[in-house]
Amino acid sequence: MPIESDEELREVLDYENVAVVGCSSTPGKDAHDVPKYLQEHGYTVVPVNPYADEVLGREAYDSLSEVEERVDVVDVFRPSEEVAGIVDEAIDRDDVKAVWTQLGIRDDEAAAKAEDAGLRVVQDKCIKVEHRRLLG
């Protein structure tokens, strides 16, 4: 079951390195402003966007599998139909601890697959909103 309890959400929010799949270089978009908020609150944000060279002052990677840095949490800003492929990439890495899909994004089958592989899953929640609510 995807994480719902505040205690478990806090545990995921304690991880430090967040790869943001679908990170936007456009200020004003949630996919830009949420990662910026995370960065401002001490997280290492790793942007994943094949259409940008740099986002938030950091090199942007074309895909999660190309990220060379450690990734604790994969934060997904892509349509629900793309979650399964992102989960597969997360499972293939040996460093990912959790997959977090933003508001309006969910794939129950992919979530179950991630959990079966030992990853924690948060679905259909904004990481910024939850951070503010629980830790802000």
Give 33-48 pLDDT, tens digit per residue. 999 999 999 999 999 9
How many domains, the chain? Answer: 1
Q: What is the residue range of 120's domain? A: 6-134
Residue 40 C-beta-side C-alpha neighbours within 13 Å = 10
User: Has residue 1 been placed in a domain?
Assistant: no
The model's pLDDT over 69-123, given as tens digits with 9 standing for 90+, comes to: 999 999 999 999 999 999 999 999 999 999 999 999 999 999 999 999 999 999 9
User: Has residue 63 been placed in a domain?
Assistant: yes
- Give the span between the Cα atoms of 32 and 98, in whole angstroms: 20
Query: Full-prediction pTM beyond 0.95?
Result: yes
User: Has residue 124 been placed in a domain?
Assistant: yes
| SS3 of 35-49 | HHHHHHCCCEEEEEC
Domain at 16, CATH number: 3.40.50.720
